[in-house]
Amino acid sequence: MSTAGAYLRLVRAGWILVREGVVAALPGEHLSGMPRLGWRVAKLLSRRRAGRRDRPERLSIAVDRLGPSYVKLGQFLATRPDVVGNEMAYDLATLQDRLETFPEAQARAAIEESLGAPVDALYRTFGKPVAAASIAQVHRAETVRDGEIETVAVKVIRPGVRRRFHNDLESFFLASRLQERFIASARRLRPVEVTQTLAQTTRIEMDLRLEAAAISELHENTKDDPGFRVPWVDWQRTGRDVLTLQWIDGIKMSDVEGLRAAGHDLEQLATTLIQSFLRHTLRDGFFHADMHPGNLFVEPDGTIVAVDFGIMGRIGKKERRFLAEILYGFITRDFRRVAEVHFEAGYVPAHHDVAAFAQALRAIGEPIHGQSAETISMARLLTLLFEVTELFDMQTRPELLLLQKTMVVVEGVSRTLDPHFNMWRAAEPVVSNWIKANLGPRGLVADAGDGLNALIALLRQAPELAARTERLAREIEATADRGLRLDLETVQAIGRAEARHTRLGRVALWLIAATLLAILWQHL
């Protein structure tokens, strides 16, 4: 796709956001100069009926017009409040990923191409689509498994969706590069890196074998967990474009009245949900990162079953220790220890003062201890923590932000089930058990074992590392003697590429200018 095409797609997206009142709904009173002028012009150009809608509804309408790529962009940015702000992240989290279904014949063709066999040979029955999203749609079917008839859900990739996402991602990369170039304050947020993460996430999500692997891993991790489980995957009927897994019959956790009418213990469900999430996070370092109530079902025996594993979170041992220690430190009011944990993890630069950082953390922790346990929000605590650490130059940690966002959702679901839910009492057994196992004597033994294994691995690589070091030293010495030289062909190629880039940039800018003039002319 050409740079000019990316510019035009970007202009179209901006125009739709302006017309649907999304830009006008952003807080602009504090702006000055050209940004404030642009915000005021956006308010004038927005549709009249847009003014009667709240911001989430405006966002939803605009995203529906822009297409499935922007639904995914919105959902992804909802996990990055550091980029879009907490209020906008909350609004983006409400976006619904629901599209019209595509014909069953196309779904059958995709299955047969991916699995190399006729649908009727793969499935005992294959029904019409029951749900559709931006990337795939789901059919209900039946298979024979271990001699028994099993109902399964068959997820099929939407035709042409990869090409559509590829084109729109070009526009996203263009917008992020412009942001880094012209908006100095945005460089700290590394927008190009954020877009690269989005691109990688969508590539993974569009290969259903990788989602199947995530389901399988979580299924294995949780097979002995009380009150929580994950559906099994039918690997024989799973490929790049199709995923077959166990069909779940249960009540959605969003249907609180339905759960109450079925006789479920809502307080116990809230406790099981938060403990399961913390167990996956601390014990396994691998968690479902899209646990909104529409993705959680409750079976007749009270077991919670999660579905839709397109967004998963993974944190390493260091991040798990960091999370456990800061939670425990805030509970015990050991703010000095919480500060030290940040420095030990390398999250806060060493030139800052530990005591000053501990003082800032006390400003978060002390008000919490003045509240009743039922009103203390662990998710809110993490949100405040990230706001304070920004003052001390803490670099953005996407994995921790995804964890915090998921905790906000999970805690919200738990409080919907039980308005008086005591987050700390429910979390304490999981957190304290993890701390005893990993920060006590057993943890020291495990760390010593990990260190010994790392040392053995390093010793095995020592001969190769020595050889590489010797080669590098010779090359540096040779470069110092001769200097760094470019041959004529390389220099000419660089010149041609730079000239071509400049011409394309000028053409694209003229196209944008012409488009904007045409738009403004229509409204004069």
Query: Can you tell me the distance from the alpha carbon of 334 to that of 439, in angstroms, rounded to the nearest whole number?
Result: 16
Read off the tokens for 221: 């991790």
Q: Which helix (H) or strand (E) holds 313?
A: strand 312-314
Closest CA to 120 of 207, 237, 231, 212: 237
Read off the tokens for 510: 């003229």
CATH of the domain spanning 98-247, picked from 3.10.50.40, 3.30.420.80, 3.40.50.10260, 3.30.200.20: 3.30.200.20
- Domain coordinates of the chain in residue numbers? 98-247, 252-439
- pLDDT at residue number 322: 82
Query: Can you tell me the distance from the alpha carbon of 485 to that of 230, in angstroms, rounded to the nearest whole number?
Result: 59
- pLDDT at residue number 519: 46
pTM, rounded to two decimals? 0.71
- pLDDT at residue number 355: 93
Q: How far is CA 459 from CA 190, 455, 466, in A?
A: 37, 6, 11
The reply to whether 290 belongs to the active site is yes
Residues of the chain with pLDDT under 50: 1, 442-445, 447, 504, 507-524
Residue with tokens 């694209």: 508
Residues 6+ apart with CB under 8 A from 184: none
Cα angle: 234, vertex 236, 241; to 5 degrees:
85
**In contact, 99 and 134? CB cutoff 8 Å:** yes
Query: Can you tell me the distance from the alpha carbon of 420 to that of 188, in angstroms, rounded to the nearest whole number?
Result: 39
Query: Can you tell me the distance from the alpha carbon of 275 to that of 421, in angstroms, rounded to the nearest whole number?
Result: 13
- Reported as a single tens digit per residue, the pLDDT across 135-186 is 899 999 999 988 899 999 999 999 988 888 888 888 888 888 887 777 766 6
Residue 278 class from Cβ within 10 Å (0-12 exposed, 13-18 middle, 19+ buried)? buried
Residue 8 class from Cβ within 10 Å (0-12 exposed, 13-18 middle, 19+ buried)? middle
Query: Can you tell me the distance from the alpha carbon of 242 to that of 376, in angstroms, rounded to the nearest whole number?
Result: 43
- pLDDT at residue number 280: 95
Query: Can you tell me the distance from the alpha carbon of 139 to that of 156, in angstroms, rounded to the nearest whole number?
Result: 8
Query: Can you tell me the distance from the alpha carbon of 397 to that of 319, in angstroms, rounded to the nearest whole number?
Result: 10
Q: Where are the alpha helices (DSSP H) in 78-185?
A: 81-84, 86-93, 104-115, 119-122, 161-182
Phi first, then psi, for residue 114 (nearest 5°) are -75, -40
From 290, 353, 481, 487, active-site residue: 290
Query: Which amino acid is it at 150?
Result: E
- pLDDT at residue number 98: 67
- Reported as a single tens digit per residue, the pLDDT across 256-300 is 999 999 999 999 999 999 999 999 999 999 999 888 888 899 999
